[in-house]
Amino acid sequence: MNKIIYLDAAATYQKPEPVINAMNDFLLNHYANAGRGVCGRVEYVDDMVERTRARVAAFMNARANQIVFVSGTTMAMNMVADMIPMRATTRVLVSDLDHHSARLPFVRRANERAGQVMVCPLDENYNLDMENIPAADVFVITAMSNVMGMPQDVAKIIRIAKEKNPNVITVVDAAQFVVHEKIDVRAWGADFVCWSAHKIGADTGVGILYIKSPDDFSPTFIGGGMARRVESDGHIVFADATERFEAGTLPLTQIAGIIPAIDNLEKNRPNLGLIKYMYDELSKINKVKILTKRDAAVLTFVVDGMHSLDCGAYLGVRGFCVRVGMMCASWIIRRLDIDGAVRVSVGAYNSQADAEVFIKAIKEVVK
Ligand SMILES: Cc1ncc(COP(=O)(O)O)c(C=O)c1O
């Protein structure tokens, strides 16, 4: 078997050593539950969680009490769709850039007659069409599509959406954006922003939900650690943010990896020069049709006469990990008039040599 060449960072990022060391150290030397005792270890864990929350807040230009630990983007989007008040007439604007996890929670609510889904137009480059953003009550904004890899101008999009309806609630899926660009929730003015920590090099099972005005919303999940008191008639008085959104035990080991993952990302973002190199080389192969722009964060393509799953399998047996198929983004795939594609993406750990052997392999595969 060949050595594995991992070119699928956009699905999940390989873990930098400091992240693994921090999680190991937590498991070996500090393991305990947060907020449920008074011993030294619990104090350490509480402090670790709050230090991490503060670091995440600084990373996104938020306040610590606006940062909620969730299991990932999918959970965050489900929570947001649940906690936003919606009626049959609520206009929910989505776009064909969306990942299923961003749009489907709102589609389900609309199917239950809580909201009407409207699709925001894209321009000729498959970016949100700033000229034609309709008025909406809720706007789901995919800051970077996992298929197209282009950062959207979130601050401008939100500004335009607010001109159309000052009360619009804006929900930003930053799962891909966070890897490549700085999130600034204040400059954006967004109401909700979420991302998954595994995409930046921390572990799976933890992610971030930013809520601009957390005390204005009721929690989706009910349980330990989120109620201030329960009255004799059963009325639950919720704790303030952020506890009210964090029922139950947090994924503590995964949280222990977030600060080193952010530190690592800020020092060492993925080298998109590798994407440009592969773009230029793939452009020379007649049978390859590239669907992304040269300056995108991912490289997505199809091969003439070859299904994307076959292409992935041919690359797979040669040791390459790439993403193939619909990529949980069926709307953009359909819009591109294809039934699937191959996506290559890089982390800071990928080298020019990885890109060169990939090009050699794809030339063999398409022959
Ligand atoms: C743009 C986008 N949104 C949402 C998700 C869902 O993230 P998770 O599966 O970590 O919840 C992904 C994951 O691929 C994504 O790329």
Tens of pLDDT, residue by residue over 206-263, are 999 999 999 999 999 999 989 999 999 999 999 999 999 999 999 999 999 999 999 9
Distance CA 190, CA 258 (A): 23
Closest listed residue to residue 141, CA positions, set 199, 97, 184? 97
- CATH class, range 17-266: alpha beta
The answer to whether the Cα torsion of 94, 97, 102, 108 is positive or negative is positive
% of the chain at pLDDT higher than 70: 99
DSSP readout, 34-78? TTS--SHHHHHHHHHHHHHHHHHHHHHT--GGGEEEES-HHHHHH
Q: Are 64 and 53 within 8 A, CB to CB? A: yes
- Residue 135: pLDDT band (50, 70, 90) is very high
Give the strand pairing for 138-142 and 169-173: parallel
- Residue 93: pLDDT band (50, 70, 90) is very high
* CB of 219 closer than 6 angstroms to any ligand 1 atom: no
Exposed/middle/buried for residue 356 (C-beta within 10 Å: 0-12, 13-18, 19+): middle
Rg of the chain taking only CA atoms, in angstroms: 22
pLDDT of the residue at 1: 45
Q: List alpha helices for 222-347, DSSP H.
A: 252-256, 258-267, 273-283, 308-317, 330-335
Q: What is the mean pLDDT of residues 326-350?
A: 96
Sort residue 94 into left (φ over 0), alpha (ψ -120 to 50) or beta. beta
Mean of per-residue pLDDT scores for the chain: 96
* CB of 99 closer than 6 angstroms to any ligand 1 atom: yes
Cβ-based neighbour number of residue 77 at 10 Å: 27
> Which residue has 């749009």 as its token pair?
103
Domain 270-366, CATH homologous superfamily name and number:
Aspartate Aminotransferase, domain 1 (3.90.1150.10)
> Ligand 1, closest atom to CA 143?
1
Main-chain phi, psi angles of 352, to 5 degrees: -60, -35
* CB of 102 closer than 6 angstroms to any ligand 1 atom: yes
**Higher pLDDT among residues 95 and 240, named by residue:** 95
- What residue spans in the chain does CATH classification 3.40.640.10 cover? 17-266
* CB of 292 closer than 6 angstroms to any ligand 1 atom: no
Q: Are 19 and 203 within 8 A, CB to CB? A: yes
Cβ-based neighbour number of residue 62 at 10 Å: 21
pLDDT of the residue at 113: 86
pLDDT for 108-118, tens place per residue? 999 998 899 99
- Residue 36: pLDDT band (50, 70, 90) is low
Distance CA 347, CA 351 (A): 9
Q: Are 94 and 115 within 8 A, CB to CB? A: no
Give the dihedral of Cα atoms 28, 30, 34, 36; nearest 10 deg.
100
Centre of ligand 1 to C-alpha 168, Å, is 24
Q: What is the mean pLDDT of residues 21-40?
A: 90
> Which residue has 């907020």 as its token pair?
35
Whether the per-residue pLDDT at 154 is higher than 60: the answer is yes
Q: Are 80 and 105 within 8 A, CB to CB? A: yes
> Which residue has 């959970």 as its token pair?
75
> Which residue has 């080389």 as its token pair?
281
Cis peptide before 249 (omega within 30 of 0): no
* CB of 158 closer than 6 angstroms to any ligand 1 atom: no
Q: Which token pair is 257?
A: 């990896």
Instruction: Report the residue among 178, 196, 198 best suited for mutation to probe ligand 1: largest number of ligand atoms under 8 A from its CB.
Output: 196
% of the chain at pLDDT higher than 90: 95
End-to-end CA gap in the chain: 22
pLDDT for 52-77, tens place per residue? 999 999 999 999 999 999 999 999 99
pLDDT for 296-326, tens place per residue? 999 999 999 999 999 999 999 999 999 999 9
> Ligand 1, closest atom to CA 73?
11
- What residue spans in the chain does CATH classification 3.90.1150.10 cover? 270-366
Closest listed residue to residue 202, CA positions, set 108, 71, 89? 71
Whether the per-residue pLDDT at 349 is higher than 60: the answer is yes
The answer to whether the Cα torsion of 353, 354, 358, 359 is positive or negative is negative
Whether the per-residue pLDDT at 184 is higher than 60: the answer is yes
* CB of 143 closer than 6 angstroms to any ligand 1 atom: no
Would you give the distance in Å from CA 90 to the centre of its chain? 25
Centre of ligand 1 to C-alpha 221, Å, is 21
Q: What is the mean pLDDT of residues 28-45?
A: 86
Separation in Å, CA 72 to CA 45, 104, 175, 243: 21, 15, 9, 17
